[in-house]
Structure 1
Amino acid sequence: MTVKALYDYEFPSADRAEVFGDDQLVYVHWRGNPLFCSAACFRVPKTMTFAAFVTSTVHGWAASDPDFDPDSVTEWRLFDAPLSGGQDKSLADLGIGHKALLSFAA
């Protein structure tokens, strides 16, 4: 639903990319898990490798589900496209930008 302001609204977004410097916001969604019905948002460095992101950030968050098994994480997607690339590449190198949505199945 759109909202029409009654005046000129000229305030920059508080979560725009330039506010975060060398970091960025990345959303992560565990598809099909009823405990996590929506994506979680994490502030991480753009230069962080995908493997480090998964082990240090995603696994810690997902472990709050007692059924989580880190070895069962599969089918990573960036928005709606399959995520392809090396685990040793940075988030930026994989095309994971500010406010990107990653999802996985487990």
Structure 2
Amino acid sequence: MTTTSVRPYPHIQKDTVDKFPAPLLYIGWEDHLMFCAPFCLPLPPTLKFGDMLAGPLPGVFGAHPDFAKIDWSAAEWFKSGKAWKPDVNKTLAENGLGHKDVIRFRTPGLHGLNGSCN
């Protein structure tokens, strides 16, 4: 739907990276409906991807009974909807992740509570 302004309308973006303690990263777990949407986490760009798996992710997804069963080496990753392979030894920035990026992961063999998303 197009709109017409009767006078100049400056677009001022209110959610730029400088307004947050760290760049925001959205992280979702496919086939696990206990979490209805990706979590939004402020994570420093210097954080190693592997440290994110060991630190912040258990804090947000750890309540799910399948979380302890995840084989991270078999996890399938998606960045903005496209297949993507992160390097666990590189930082978030080195993996090409920036402010408000969206990543999701799928865990083969784990399909929600008692296989509810099969």
User: Between Structure 1 and Structure 2, whose CA radius of gyration is higher?
Assistant: 2
Using the TM superposition, give the Cα deviation of residue 93 of structure 1 relative to its aligned residue in structure 2, in angstroms: 0.8
CA-to-aligned-CA distance 1:37-94 (integer Å, 9 cap, x gap): 1111000101111011121111221112133225334101111222224211011111
Q: Which moved more, 1:8-17 or 1:39-48?
A: 8-17
Q: Structure 1's 24 and 2: CA in aligned 2 closer, same or farther, altered over 3 A?
A: farther
Report if the CA contact (8 A) 1:79-1:102 is conserved: yes
Q: Structure 1's 3 and 100: CA in aligned 2 closer, same or farther, altered over 3 A?
A: farther
Quote the sequence identity (%).
27
Q: Structure 1's 78 and 7: CA in aligned 2 closer, same or farther, altered over 3 A?
A: same
Using the TM superposition, give the Cα deviation of residue 12 of structure 1 relative to its aligned residue in structure 2, in angstroms: 2.8
Report if the CA contact (8 A) 1:59-1:70 is conserved: no
Report if the CA contact (8 A) 2:29-2:104 is conserved: yes
Report if the CA contact (8 A) 2:77-2:86 is conserved: no
| 1:58 counterpart SS class | helix
Report if the CA contact (8 A) 2:77-2:105 is conserved: yes
Q: Which moved more, 1:24-33 or 1:66-75?
A: 66-75
Q: Could you tell me which residue of structure 2 aligns to residue 41 of structure 1? A: 40
1:65 partner letter: H
Structure 1 unaligned segments of length 5 or more: list them: none
| 1:97 counterpart SS class | coil
Report if the CA contact (8 A) 1:31-1:105 is conserved: yes
Q: Could you tell me which residue of structure 2 aligns to residue 92 of structure 1? A: 93
Distance 2:55 2:2 in 1: 38
TM-score (norm 2): 0.73
TM-score (norm 1): 0.80
Structure 2 unaligned segments of length 5 or more: list them: 108-118
Asked if 1:68 is matched to 2:67, the reply is: yes
Q: Structure 1's 59 and 2: CA in aligned 2 closer, same or farther, altered over 3 A?
A: farther
